[in-house]
Structure 1
Amino acid sequence: MKAELLGCGLTVEGQLGVRLNEPNIVVPERIIGAPNDIDGTSVKQVACGENHTLFLTKDGKIWSVGGNTDGQLGRGGSCEGSFSIYPVASSQGVEFIQIAAGRAHCIAVAEDGRVFTWGSNEHGQLGLTSLIQRQETPKRVKTLNEVIQIAAGSDHSIALTESGRVFVWGEQADGRCIHEPILVEELSAIPIVRVVAGSRHCIAISASGSVYSWGQNDHGQLGFDDPRPRTRAFHIEQMDGFGVVEAACGDAHTVLLTTNGRLFSFGSDSLGQCGFERKTEKRTSPTAISDLIGSHVTRVAAGRCHTLAIVSGFVYPFGLNSSGQLGNGSVRTQGSPRRTDELDHVTSVFAGWDQSFFLRSAKLEVNQEVGPCSQVKYPQKLTRENLEAALKSGDKLNVIALIESVFSSASCINNSFLYPDDRRFCVGFDRSHGIDMDQVMEAFLLLDECSSRQQYYELIAEMLAMSLESTSSYIPSVERLRLYLILPWLTVFSENVNENTVKRFHLPLFKHLCQNTNEKLGNVLERWWSEMSARHFRRIVVVAKAAVRCFVAAKKKPFECQEFLHVLNRLHTINKKYHIVPLEIFYVDELNDNFDVKLDYVEWVAGKQQQDDDTSPFNHWSNWSFLLNAAAKGNLLHVDALWKQHVRVQNSQVNTIFGSFYKEIPVLEIHVRRDFIVSDTMNRMAHLDTSDLQKPLKVKIQGEEADDAGGVRKEFFMIVMPKVLQPEYGMFVEDETSHLVWFSGLPEIICDREQFRQLGRLVGLAIYNQILVPFPFPLALYKLLLEQSPSLEDLIELSPIEGNGLQSLLDYEGDDIEDVFCLNFTISFNCLGESKSVELCKGGEGKNVNKENRQAYVDLYVKHRLSLGLNGEIAQQARLFCAGFRDSLNSRILSFFQPRELMELVVGNENYDWSQFRECVEYKDDYNEHHPAIIAFWKAFYQLTDEQKKKFLQFLSGSTRLPVAGMSALQVTIQPSADTSLPVAHTCFNLLDLPNISDADELLRRLLISIEHTEEMKKLLVIIKPEIVAHQILKKAAINELKQKGIEIEEMRMMRIGRNLAEKLYQQHKDKFFYNRLVRHITSGEVLALRVIGNPRDCIGSSRLCS
């Protein structure tokens, strides 16, 4: 069977191309006069007016038939209507790709984007001057170019350009007659891919299937209940997410076809044209045609009051049938879709006023692809494939043409890189963006790798200036937002950014974002950002931050880059909630180099206290604290404390106050006894006024002459902190797997709660004095300090076995959770060896954990485990600890910190930069960076493995962790020592005694001995004090304690230790003991020395052991 064109319906004026005595054809007949080729009919599209018909053939020619009262046949002259199909007069060589017909006018679009019109121009529907009332041959509309789609209403016209812009002309909903095409501004930047016209209304469809309508609405044909006409396009939000790809419009009804073959209709249904058995005057909201549910509709067309649908090659007509236009052999109106068995292998349908046409294929297989009834062109877009093809072609003009087409139009950018499958339709206010972000990244990397990249970026800059002009926000379409995700992946936004780059690229984009996103759209954009993978979220941050860094380098104030700060602030808020990228990504380190951040903070605080009008968030960098790195925030903590010391002079000039901060101020002295360090410290903390806690600390050891220049203070914290965490005090418990500690939750009768306040004060004091402390708490503690709630991730960190068990509960995919896990809403606490069960909620013991409530169970479990405890004891302990901490650090700066930043301020970090370490080292006496011994040292140092470098750091400073400010804060000094000695570290001062030798290999050997020797002494030597050895029972108990800890004793002997050996031991263990405690104790009598295998540090909490 060859392809054929059939027609039925009204034929009085010859509009079917046949001459009959009867006015109607009720059974579809082959249109014999239609153009043919060897495959049968060559017609690929039919457009029907009220009394005339146009045919578009495969070779791009137009033919016409029917009435010609206004010259709509396009043949020239004042000829009458025709019952024979003849060609339309057109310029030689013009190839047309689409046709449309109104009541008495015609439109055609050529392959090169030119538009031609003819017929009646009474209402301006031809887009020609009002002086022309009728045009008998096709005439070009010179104001339109690059058009790819057209549609015609009764007396109006609509066009879609390659750039995604929509133009209209002719009679409008408000009665105006427009003779020159005008832009539908409210659709600008929305990626419109399809336009359709009804008699007096228009429909536009976006790339993600969103539907927009405007025009007359007297029967609800716009999809709204309000019968008043709408002169501006409105969004039919009800259809979002359904994936509409095609529409058909009649006189007063509309039909929408979705990507999965569902059909929705609305508008006038008085004659059954909406497809529901029960007719009604109007339907004002889109409704799925129930009789077609389950069927896969592939094509749809609408006449004045009838509708045609194709399912599996068969036609399902419904609506008015007075002229036989349904083609079912009768003239009875049909209210619901019914298959016409006689019409099979139908590939396309076309409907006019009261006539219908059917294209039957010669192929036996049925096309199940959903789409328009005839092939149409779509607006330009960018994909990885078409960009790669253009680049590989070797023709720069191809690339330039693609760049110009896409980047000159916000609509085309928003239409680019969409998923090819149904994911592109899942777009809306509560859905995703539909962009394949990985394709965006890969495509722009291709552009970056080509040799002409600079020329292309110059062109992109010019085109973006056009596309990012202010667009209408009348319709809050989420599809306008895509360009804010796509454009940042252009390399020019992130590499070699300078003031010119920011001016040409960053500023237009971010200004456009701030000016064109209302609150509703802003919320959508934030949700999209929050759902991005880390690499794409990071990219947005890096691009915005690059602009800020450029402004900072130029010493510009925040108000000069407020668009970028606004976006970064929103991104940071998202990141705080979802933890997508590390906090450090937001740091602008250049702030410390280009601005006096301390002075900025003081001015900011002064302005707030005086309620100064100059305290706009864009006047001070301190208002954007997330840009400050952790070191800067740590410095501000101390500035804030100094500010409070000088609050009485706050009416003075800020600069004068700031200058006075560097004068000597009182210090806080803590006197402790070496044998009672914990009790003395806690008692001292309890009796301090909060104002004392914000003074520099000096520690005095009873019987110790040394002045505290920082070393005693550091040693004090390194000893007192591990001791206070020991089980004998009952304040904390250690997890056996992670070796992290948490609040014990023991009742007050056993564990004095006030001790937690004093410990909190002590930790705050350590921060204020910039001392890292061995404080093995999980991140959850720092969340509590910042008034945030711990999460399951925190429990996993503290107690991996317990936390991962809960995670496996959440990850379990089966439906038999109750049988597999056998859990109810209770939690067990260990209290002094006794297990006590507590209900997580009222009636929890009888409430089983299942698939529906498991998340609630996990949330309650974590809350009780980390925040409440048995009888609320953990809550009380944590509350007092936090209160004590804020006694020391009652600063608004705390709100600047994130939990991990605060954690690093307390315990340091492991962000090693060994090249920076070398730059920060200072030299004493004869040493300098060019000295042979120093040159040999660095040569030896860089031969160490990373693990050995960390051991060296432990050897040098007493810790493998770095201050929050990084390597530069270590303040390491190297001084000469005898050429026969080993390297010796003074951990309290980060001072290294380096032998004066120039042999790098020998220095490496000695360095390794010092590092490993220190580790060996910590692990293998245990000395039991003379006063314990003197009592056999205590001596035996000490040995048993070591064995119970799993430590194997290799050698044991009684010995006396002289003062010189004791001094050496002190140097090796000074990070754990006071001088007098170690030296005086072990030289006062005979000791028991043991060589062991294991870690004796597990037992150091016992008063019986020295090392």
Structure 2
Amino acid sequence: MLCYCGEAVCAGFGLIKPDSVNTATSAISFFHPKSKIWDLAHGKNLIGFIRGDGNVSVMKLHIDGEVKCGKLKSLDLKKAKIRVISCGEDHALLLAYGGNVLFMDKSNICRPVRDLSGRNVIQIACGDQHFMALTNDGQLFTWGQNSSGQLGLGKGEPSSVSPQPLKSLCGIPLAQISAGGDHSFALSLSGAVFGWGRNSAGQLGLGDCEDRYFPTCVSNLSKKKTVFIACGEEHTATLSKGGTVFTFGLGRYGQLGHNSFRDELCPRVVAELWGSKVSQISCGRHHTLALVGSSKTIYSFGCGEQGQLGNGQRTNQCVPLPVCLPPECDPGQTFGKIIAGGNVSVACSPRQDEELHSISKTSPCKGTSVLHDEIIDRWILECDSKTWGRAKREITKMFSSASCINGSFTDKSDKHYKTSSEQSGLDLALARLAFEKLAKRDTVLTEVQKVVEKALLPSLGSTTAGAEALRIYLILPELLRVLNKQQRGTWLTVSLASAILNLDPDTSDDLMRLWTRLPYYYYRTLVKTFHSVSVNFMTQLTTKICDYWKELCSILGVLQKLYTINNQRVTGISDECFYIKEVGDFFVSSDPQDEQGMNIFRNFMLLQLEEHILRGCENQLLVNRETALADTFTRLKTNPLDYSLPLKVTFLLEDGLDYGGVQKEFFTLLGQEIKATSAVQASEDSGLLWFNTETSGSTDELYYIGVICGMAFSNHCYMNVGFPLALFKKLLGQSPTLRDLEELSPVEARSLRNVLMEDEDVLEELCLDFTMKGTDLIPNGRKIPVTKVNRQKYVDLYVDFVFNKSVECQFKEFARGFSDGNPWKVWSLFLPDEVRDLLYGTAQYEWNELRKCATYENCGASDELIQNFWTVFFELSEENQKKFLTFMYGSARLPLGGLSQLHLKIVRCVCADADDRFPVAQTCFGTLNLPNYSNIHILQDKLVHAITFCEVFGNM
């Protein structure tokens, strides 16, 4: 049965003889069509019907601007069978089985929309003069008039006669589209609502009346579990999963149902329908219908001037009231679909032997395709070439679309409706099981890998319209997990890293917030995936198998982000999971005589700069050994260096070219002198340095000390200035803790630990308040005693004062200098203790390792001269052994990995006056020229003298 009311139309719409339409006892007319009506749509000036055989008939309701019904005419569809129709002002879109779209013009002539051919469209929508189409892979196309931005393509964009992809919604898995007069809406699978176009009365629900030229999220509908959107000419209604109705926009005719005729700029619940569990809604030009399925009641409200409210009157109505159905209707009559279109209302009720088209359901059309077990099971079955060809096409369609992947693996409960930057809405266990199942057939997994790498990842942009579009970055690591098990997926990992680093700052922050709430095992998988690839690349770079600088940078950049948020997680993983032990080999693997190798560290973050640009460009620094620090300060202040270039140091009145050895000795000297400056002071307990709290924050001295430390780091020279780990934590944006105070000032830290452990009465006897050295830790801290309740706060504030507030200006100057002196910012990729070790070097001496790494020229390990040398060396005191390192390498500090990472080459020098000569060290190359001494005693005397008086470079 089909019931209708409203604007005068031809009785029965031409579907039946006029005298067969029952209009005697009610404001509502009804009849039983002779043939099945699968679907119908009502526009401003026409109505269309899809017959049971897939053919379409349309009727014009206004001809030449007059209310005048035309005849019901069948359309020439060229054998196409239609399953969905949508009507605009004078036009219509028809969606055929198979996904093809036809456009019907004013003359009722239908033509295929060729730009959409082969795209498998699943939904269509018409505004007055604009059109929308959604494909099964989640792409949304718009075309038509763009006077108010209703196409969503941007301000100033012209109208378009051909479909244009709406790129700003890429990655959002869409469930439904809807078009009003000059405004448009799209609904995601997890209930996010996006609106754009005309907003003259607030019909976009954004709190204002400004038109929008791009899709904009309606934040007031977030987490409301929206499942359907209906658009009128200037108002909008939404339906939640629980049956709640929200309306907004023009209220002049009462079409919002809020017991007023006022416009609403934000979504507002229709209170009169609260608790009724509405199952369908529909918007006409200025009226609204709502169906409560459980009570089989239709409610209407809004403009009733043409009788379209079905209440027997022709007045406007601002509250929902039940439609007066004809007495002839069965009280148990079930309505499959309600349609409010133009100034007409229609309700369809199927016969008991009929099945209404699926468009009548609460979720009217299928949305973006998603991955599920049934599809995977079909792919992994053994099949013939024809079936496999179909599977490959499906894999390409699915895995080339971010929307399809983002709509997959959602939480089966309603949690996914709460998707935000705080919650992904995913059940990653489903993703893990799916990819493990895909891996059971290698050809399928290989095809998936290829499509993701070649099509999906390159399609990802730098911005997203919402949190649902970020799910791809949580799902793909599960694919990488199964690929890594098979020693595959390295380049896919690199591509994913590049996509992550390409995100704009706000989008990147949203992703990092999702990472902080990622379940422990999936977060650990994420870290392990990028960590293992970074180790692989670093190993290959160390052994010079391949040159993967750019790729390594991308991987390390993501690892840095993951490490940054690790401490913010409730269940963080151990810092050791981020530690890359190969980093030591990486930085010491280059041949000192290899210019490219020596510039590796400097070029690390400047990957686009060709090596030849740096060759011949360097910073020349001439200093007096006795006043090295003062000379360096003067040079930096009066003639600043280009810190991106290599450093070459010369000591005044000393011979020797700097191939790396002179600068090592230079930074060793500076490290010693910095400890004696007034800018820092040593802790009485530990001897470690910290900023002098009495130093003015305006002084340049700390800035230039920071510059020098940065230069040492970027030039790969060791300089132990004696700061604690807390300094490096602060440089990396981490907060020092009580454990850091234990390193700097053990006695002070022990006292604070006692405060945390003492009983209440003991705390009272200590008479502590919230001050430190006369300074309030909080406002009026002198008047606030430390108690058992607030002692943790006291300790936290105490530590914060020591490391932060008391030295805020001093640290700021140092950090600015460190960053300027080391412009590549590569240090930000490491852990605090790694940065410390890379700047300080290590002091763990396994002296046998030096002998193991030694090589010889003009002699062998078994020669008497060499045997005597090692006998003398191992008999030296540890202090003299360290002096030997300074003699050989310019510093007693060791690279990560210890002595085994050094290059020691002993060259036997044959000369007649050997017993009168001293050993000579080529510091830059780790080469010892050892005369052929006649006996061990002379060798010992000469060696000890050389290492004791070796301070003047080039002179003995």
TM-score by length of 1: 0.54
Q: Is the counterpart of residue 460 in structure 1 residue 451 in structure 2?
A: yes
Quickly say closer, same or farther: Cα 1:227–1:543, change in 2 above 3 A: farther
2:143 aligns to what? 169
Q: 2:112 aligns with which of 131, 134, 140?
A: 140
- Please name the residue that 1:183 is paired with: 165
> Residues 288-437 of structure 1: matches in 2 within 5 Å?
288-313=269-294, 314-340=297-323, 345-360=334-349, 373=362, 375-383=364-372, 386-392=375-381, 394=383, 396-397=388-389, 399-428=391-420, 430-437=421-428
Rg comparison, structure with higher value: 1
Distance across 2 between alignment mates of 1:23 and 1:410: 53
What's the offset of the Cα at 1:506? 5.2
Is the contact made by 1:304 and 1:354 (CA closer than 8 Å) also made in structure 2? yes
Report deviation, 1:153: 2.1
Whole-angstrom distance in 1 between the partners of 2:398 and 2:257: 40
Q: Distance in 1 between matches of 2:53 and 2:459?
A: 37
Q: Cα distance 1:293–1:903, how it changes in 2: closer, same or farther (>3 A)?
A: farther
**Counterpart check, 1:520 vs 2:494:** no
8 A contact 1:828–1:838 mirrored in 2: no
Q: Find the counterpart in structure 2 of residue 31 from structure 1.
A: 31
Question: Which residue of the partner structure matches residue 6 of structure 2?
Answer: 9
**Quick one: structure 1 residues 921 and 454, their matched pair in 2 at CA, closer, same or farther if it must change by over 3 Å?**
farther
**Given that residues 444 and 490 in structure 1 are in contact (C-alpha distance below 8 angstroms), is that contact kept between their aligned partners in structure 2?**
yes
CA 1:782–1:152 in structure 2 vs 1: closer, same or farther (change >3 Å)?
Answer: closer
Cα distance in 2, alignment partners of residues 570 and 424 from structure 1? 25
Q: 1:163 touches 1:379 (CA, 8 Å); kept in 2?
A: yes
Q: Which residue of 1 aligns with 2:938?
A: none
Correspondence 1:584 to 2:567:
no
Name the SS of the counterpart of 1:828 in structure 2: helix
CA contact (8 A) 2:256 2:288 kept: yes
Name the SS of the counterpart of 2:439 in structure 1: helix
Seen in structure 2, the aligned counterparts of structure 1 residues 181 and 905 have a Cα distance that, compared at 3 Å, is closer
CA distance in 2, matches of 1:371, 1:286: 25
Shift of 1:273: 0.8
What amino acid is aligned across from residue 141 of structure 1 in structure 2?
Answer: V
C-alpha distance 357-587 of structure 1, shift in aligned 2 (>3 A): farther
Output the CA distance in 2 between the equivalents of 1:421 and 1:404. 29
AA aligned opposite 2:6:
G
What count of residue pairs does the alignment treat as equivalent? 748
| Alignment partner, residue 762 of structure 1 | none
Change in Cα spacing, 1:895 to 1:844, as seen in structure 2 (3 Å) is: same
Q: Is the 8 A contact 1:56 1:63 kept in 2?
A: yes
Shift of the alpha carbon at 1:340? 4.7
Partner residue of 1:482 out of 468, 471, 474 = 471
Query: 1:490 aligns to what SS in structure 2?
Result: helix
* Cα pair distance change 1:183/1:546, threshold 3 Å: farther
**Contact 1:147-1:162 within 8 A present in 2 as well:** yes
Q: Whole-Å Cα distance in 1 between the matches of residues 784 and 269 of structure 2?
A: 43
Q: Of the two structures, which has the highest relative contact order with CA contacts closer than 8 Å and spacing of 6 or more?
A: 2
User: Partners in 1 of 2:211 and 2:663 — Cα distance?
Assistant: 78
Q: Which runs of 5+ in 1 are unaligned?
A: 37-42, 72-78, 123-132, 608-613, 622-642, 668-687, 696-724, 733-741, 744-767, 773-777, 808-820, 881-890, 910-915, 927-962, 972-1107
Counterpart Cα distance in 2 of 1:178 and 1:142: 14
Query: Alpha carbons of 1:315 and 1:68: their partners in 2 closer, same or farther (altered >3 Å)?
Result: closer
User: Which residue matches 1:701?
Assistant: none
Alignment deviations for residues 57-92 of structure 1 (CA, whole Å, 9 cap, x no partner): 6x6634546448899xxxxxxx9514xxx9766555
1:449-598, aligned counterparts within 5 Å?
449-453=440-444, 455-457=446-448, 459-460=450-451, 464=455, 468-469=458-459, 476-491=465-480, 495=484, 502=491, 505=492, 509-515=496-502, 517-532=503-518, 533=520, 534-539=523-528, 541-542=530-531, 545=534, 549=538, 556=547, 558=549, 563-564=554-555, 566-575=557-566, 580=573, 582-584=577-579, 591-592=586-587, 595=590
Q: Distance in 2 between matches of 1:104 and 1:858?
A: 72
Say which is worse superposed, 790-799 or 297-306, in terms of deviation. Answer: 790-799
- Mapped to 2, the partners of 1:849 and 1:371 lie a distance apart of 68
1:53 pairs, out of 47, 55, 62, with 47
In structure 1, C-alpha distance between the alignment counterparts of 2:338 and 2:415, rounded to whole Å: 29
In structure 1, C-alpha distance between the alignment counterparts of 2:42 and 2:439, rounded to whole Å: 50
Partner residue, 1:116: 102
Amino acid at match of 1:401: R
Kindly provide the CA deviation profile for residues 994-1023 of structure 1, in whole angstroms up to 9, marking residues without a partner as x.
Answer: xxxxxxxxxxxxxxxxxxxxxxxxxxxxxx
CA distance in 2, matches of 1:616, 1:512: 19
C-alpha distance in 2 between matches for 1:323 and 1:164: 39
Give, in whole Å, the separation in 2 of the partners of 1:494 and 1:649. Answer: 54
Q: How does 1:893-904 map to 2 (within 5 A)?
A: 898-899=831-832, 901=834
What is the Cα deviation at residue 32 of structure 1? 0.9
Q: Which residue of 1 aligns with 2:438?
A: 447
Give the whole-Å Cα distance in 2 for the aligned partners of 1:790 and 1:374. 53
For the residue of structure 2 that corresponds to 1:266, the secondary structure is strand
Distance 1:163 1:486 in 2: 17
Matches within 5 A, 1:799-814: none
**Aligned equivalents of 1:486, 1:458: Cα separation in 2:** 13
- Structure 2 alignment gaps of length 5 or more: 150-157, 326-330, 612-627, 651-656, 677-682, 690-715, 771-776, 811-820, 843-848, 863-893, 903-956
TM-score (norm 2): 0.61
Give the counterpart letter for 2:527 in structure 1.
R
Q: Report if aligned partners of 1:168, 1:181 keep a CA contact under 8 Å in 2.
A: yes
8 A Cα contact 2:717 2:839, kept in partner:
no
- Superimposed CA distance per residue, residues 372-398 of structure 1 (whole angstroms, 9 cap, x where no aligned partner): 646412122224664345324755345
Verify the 8 A CA contact 2:530 2:555 in the aligned structure 1: no
Relative distance call for 1:583 and 1:547 in structure 2 (3 A) is closer
Q: Percent identity?
A: 24
Q: How big is the shift at 1:691?
A: 2.2
Which letter maps to 1:32?
A: H
Distance in 2 separating the partners of 1:785 and 1:140: 62
What is the one-letter code of the residue matched to 2:137?
A: S
Q: Which amino acid aligns with 1:828?
A: L
CA spacing shift, 1:446–1:181, aligned 2, 3 Å: same
Q: Quote the offset at 1:109 in angstroms.
A: 1.5
For 1:225 and 1:378, the matched residues in 2 are separated by 28
User: CA offset at residue 322 of structure 1?
Assistant: 2.4
* Structure 2 equivalent of residue 939 of structure 1: none
8 Å CA contact retained: 2:477, 2:526? no
8 A Cα contact 1:209 1:240, kept in partner: yes
| Residue number in structure 2 paired with 1:1030 | none
Residue 159 of structure 1 corresponds to which residue in structure 2?
133
Q: Is the 8 A contact 2:258 2:318 kept in 1?
A: yes
* 8 Å Cα contact 1:5/1:34 also seen in 2: no
Structure 2 CA distance for partners of 1:894 and 1:538, relative to 1, 3 Å: closer
Counterparts in 2 of 1:782 and 1:53: CA distance versus 1, 3 Å: closer
